[in-house]
Copies of this chain bind each other. A is one copy, B any other.
Amino acid sequence: MNLPADNEETMTNVRAEKVREVARLATRTGRARSGEFLAEGPQAVREAMKAHIAREAEGKDAVVRSIFATDDCLDRYPEFEEMVAKAPGVRARLVSPEVLAAMADTVTPQGIVAVCVIPEVKLEEVLAAKPRLVAVLCRVQDPGNAGTILRAADAAGADAVVITNGSVDIYNPKAVRSTVGSLFHLPIVSNVALSEAIAALKGQGSTILAADGYGTADLDALQDASAARRTGGKFESAEGDPVLEEPTAWLFGNEGQGLNEDELSRADHRVAVPLYGIAESLNVSTAATVCMYASARAQRRG
């Protein structure tokens, strides 16, 4: 089986410079040097290629630089050949299973990886599209949590994710895996200071809500108030409570400490997901999902 974009031989030398180059994308330095990251496995590569083909059709920058796949994998997933045929800019190479294993960070990369471009999305571009729902990560350290929040933001229909300085690199292999392709679905702004992000979001008209276990506004009360407004019901809101239907940016904090005082002080409101049992807190990615879905529910039916 041939990858149509390229007729070179199958790569079999695990010590080739190209193999080492790809493997280095597992490290922050490697990614910084090349401006690239690695998507691993059929689902991630499929989402990357879909995004690439869609963006190329709009005359925008490339998403994928190259694909490396084993023969077996292409037999199993014939759609990749079709995709590569539609993306002449993507360099595709057949590799041996050993070469693929040497390139990948995962133990079982399932036969395919893609070298992708780290996009440089500016905050101003995101704001120009008048976002109504944005997730802002503040010192989220665990790559699995960061990736899961991004996936949930995508599912809830958020317009963008902002990853402020001090958070984990979302292009780290574990974070990329946790996004399950969502990385390619919505704009991600990285390398931005929290103060700058909040000033810009406020300037654009977003209400800043801090997800905070000790917050005074109760997310369930906000949702009931919103549902009552939508269905003509009666619900007494506390004075000054935020309105979920309005354009909103949610701040999500560090998994151990939550948002710190400085971060909290920059928000317009502190909102708690109520705890009905004995648990002292929720995992940051599950709390973030509940918060973003509360906004999505309020905004979609507003």
Interface positions of A (Cβ within 8 A of B): 144, 148, 151-158, 178, 180-182, 185-186, 220, 223-224, 227-228, 230-235, 273, 275-283, 285-287, 289-290, 293, 296-297, 300-301
Given contacts A277-B156, A279-B154, A283-B152, contact A293 B296 (CB under 8 A): no
**Are B231 and A185 within 8 A (Cβ)?**
no
4 pairs of A and B residues whose beta carbons are closest in the complex: A231-B233, A233-B233, A157-B276, A227-B227
| CB neighbours of A156 from chain B (8 A) | 276-277
Q: How far is it, in angstroms, between the C-alpha of A103 and the C-alpha of B280 when the chains are bound?
A: 27
**Are B151 and A282 within 8 A (Cβ)?**
yes
**Are A180 and B148 within 8 A (Cβ)?**
no
**Contact partner, A224, options B152, B185, B230, B278, Cβ 8 Å:** B230
| CB neighbours of A234 from chain B (8 A) | 231-233
Copies of this chain held together in the complex: 2
| CB neighbours of A152 from chain B (8 A) | 282-283, 286
| CB neighbours of A296 from chain B (8 A) | 220, 276
A275 to chain B, nearest CB (A): 5
Closest to A228 in B: B231
**Contact partner, A289, options B178, B180, B289, Cβ 8 Å:** B289
| CB neighbours of A283 from chain B (8 A) | 148, 151-152, 178, 180, 285
**Contact partner, A297, options B153, B185, B223, Cβ 8 Å:** B223
**Are A277 and B154 within 8 A (Cβ)?**
yes
Q: How far is it, in angstroms, between the C-alpha of A17 and the C-alpha of B245 when the chains are bound?
A: 61
| CB neighbours of A232 from chain B (8 A) | 233-234
**Are B223 and A278 within 8 A (Cβ)?**
no
**Are A301 and B230 within 8 A (Cβ)?**
no
